Amino acid sequence: MAEKNSTVQKKGLIEVFTAGCRRGFNMSVNSIMPALVLGYVIIQFLQLSGLMDVISTVFRPFMGILGLPGEAVTVLVAAFLAKASGCAMAALMYSEGILTLGHCSILMPACMLMGTLIGGYARIIIVSGANRKWHTFLFLLPLLDAAIAMIIMRFVVATAGI
């Protein structure tokens, strides 16, 4: 038994650190960069096609309740598909001057709470075999949570003067 323990080597600090760096790099290349590119392409398409103006006009009343411009709905739609896309969309819209820091602060909790809802719903609710009578409620609950979070963040942003 002593022989078995002597052949097991502990990883050194450098090996653990470099393995973590590799995992972080791979995550950024495989998950974050595609989301950033998707967000950029969507924004450019909407702006160049004139659809951003239409979206802004249609959603201005609803988004105004949350203290957001109408264009901010595109962040929520992107987040609905993938959290990283919603966050990337908000960052790009901030860099384009469409959103302010306060707007992004209001949107971020919503991106996290309702982000990747379709994939999460399929992987968790359907695969787990949850009672079908609860499926609609379980799908809508993250959307309600996101709306409540945006209302709370609007108050926080206003109080902080952002």
Q: What is the pLDDT of residues 115-152, one digit of tens each?
A: 777 777 777 777 777 788 887 887 888 889 999 999 99
**What pLDDT is attached to residue 39?**
66
Tell me whether residue 2 is in a domain: no
Domain of residue 51 covers 9-160
Domain membership flag for residue 76: yes
Distance separating the N- and C-terminal Cα atoms of the chain = 63
**CB-side neighbour CA atoms (13 Å) of 49:** 10
Note whether residue 1 is domain-resident.
no
Neighbours of 17 (CB within 10 A): 11
Q: Is 3 domain-assigned?
A: no
| Residue 4, in any domain of the structure | no
Structure pTM? 0.70
Report if residue 48 sits inside a domain: yes
Based on the structure, what is the number of domains in the chain?
A: 1
Q: Strand, coil or helix: what is 102? A: helix
Residue 116 lies in a domain: yes
Is residue 78 assigned to a domain?
A: yes
Other beta carbons less than 10 A from residue 158's beta carbon: 12
Give the whole-angstrom CA distance, residue 9 versus residue 16. Answer: 13
**Which residues, at least 6 apart from 34, have a Cβ–Cβ distance to it below 8 Å?**
none
pLDDT of residue 41: 79
Q: What is the pLDDT of residue 48?
A: 87
Low-confidence stretches of the chain (pLDDT beneath 70):
1-9, 31-32, 35-36, 39
